[in-house]
Amino acid sequence: MNDPIVDCIIVGGGPAGLTAALYLARFRRSTIVIDDGHSRASLIPIVRNLAGFEGGINGNELLVKMRRQIECYDVPVVEGRVTTIRETDGRFLVQYGSNSDSSSRSLFARRALLACGIRDRLPPIDEAVRLTQRGLLRFCAICDGFEAQGKRIAMLGPASRALSHALFFRTFCQHVAVIASDLDALTQQERALAAEQAIDLIANGTLELPNSTEAPLRVASRNGHRHAFDAIYPVLGCLAQTDLLSEFDVQRDSDGMIVTDKDQRTSEDGLYAAGDAVNSLNQICVAVGEAAIASMAIHRSLPANPL
């Protein structure tokens, strides 16, 4: 019972968590951010669809700027991992490990915000993270499809899902292919659609790493043909980072993402969620917007600040 108590614990220090920290600090709420350093934003070579950054901004630079902004409000940002959150007597008992000294600590929080994002499933190649940071592996047509115009692009993943992404990609470019190990799973109709849209179907394939920072990525198909691409979009799905919810009966959708109401409240009293962890459009401006809404709701739900 001697553990410190804060108004709100924020799990995750990506765009959602850092925005919530900013808002809550400005509402004069005591807040702590705990982040284990795997923000999807850290993989982004350059964000071009965030209003206000006309030349774009590198994802890590954006995170640094966001962190610096909350430093002015003395919000502690702990590098570590929250291991459990448990409800006890109307508040949350949070256990976390800190990277700095490998210690395990706990605190009480009146409210909790899950801004813990998702993890993309990367293709099983050693350099997947580096290739992503160089923009050769990409994950989001909404984010960078515009820049793919005139480029040779492939979707890598289960055939049907890869084809559906490839069809979306025809908005941007002519040279679109599907690389899949299960092309046999495609229906006649899907094959006809691929042919009509001139989408190449490539059986299996082994990615070859470029030995410089330049494209192309080379892929050998099962029949020995070699194909070159400027970028490959793995469509292998993602993992919700929701292991913390094991203590709760929080409503989730069929993808495992957290369901919230319009104020970002989960089905558990006092527990909120924002950003990619919630099944919405996985975009920075959405994560930031949801964090602002959650912060307002959290502030309103707490007793008035002491004068």
Which residues would be at the binding site for ligand FAD (CB under 6 A)?
A: 11-17, 34-41, 43-44, 47, 49, 81-82, 115-117, 120, 132, 138-140, 143-144, 241, 244, 275-276, 282-285, 287
Residue 242: CB minimum distance to ligand FAD, A: 9
Give CA–CA dist 147/168, Å, rounded: 15
Q: In this structure, how many other beta carbons lie within 10 angstroms of the beta carbon of residue 105?
A: 15
- Report whether 129 contacts 45 (CB < 8 A): no
Residue 131: CB minimum distance to ligand FAD, A: 10
Residue 196: CB minimum distance to ligand FAD, A: 30
Residue 15: CB minimum distance to ligand FAD, A: 4
Q: Of 20, 12, 160, 172, whose CA–CA distance to 81 is shortest?
A: 12
Nearest-Å Rg of the Cα atoms of the chain is 22
Closest to ligand FAD by CB, 81 or 194: 81
- At a CB cut-off of 8 Å and minimum separation 6, what does 189 contact? none
Closest to ligand FAD by CB, 19 or 162: 19
Q: What are phi and psi of 171, to 5 degrees?
A: -55, -30
- Report whether 101 contacts 79 (CB < 8 A): no
Closest to ligand FAD by CB, 16 or 257: 16
Residue 287: CB minimum distance to ligand FAD, A: 4
Closest to ligand FAD by CB, 49 or 197: 49
Closest to ligand FAD by CB, 9 or 178: 9
Helix axes 159-169, 188-196, angle to 10 degrees: 30
